[in-house]
Amino acid sequence: MISQKNARYLREAFEDPTIADYHGNESRISEGMIEAMEKAQVPQPLIYAFIRTGRVVTEATQQNLSDSELVEWDAAVKAGERS
């Protein structure tokens, strides 16, 4: 799970106008997100899970996910730990 500090950094990164220009272009959004995650020093298994699932799971967002989405996220994190 992404810490509150890293989640705040990612929110701030997406307020950056250079990232805001990514609207409508998923691959550029993903690239920008991965770059922001790396700058925030998010652990590699969590970055891997984002790439696999397309979601960022934080303490605040995990309550909005279904059980199957949480299982998918956890499996992706574990796969990232083995990579």
Tens of pLDDT along 32-81? Answer: 888 888 888 999 999 889 888 888 898 888 999 999 999 999 999 999 99
Query: What total number of domains does the chain contain?
Result: 1
Domain of residue 43, residue span:
4-82
Of 38, 34, 43, the closest CA to residue 2 belongs to: 43
pLDDT given at position 22: 44
Please write the tens of the pLDDT for every residue from 1-31.
Answer: 556 655 665 555 555 554 444 445 556 667 8
pTM for this predicted structure: 0.67
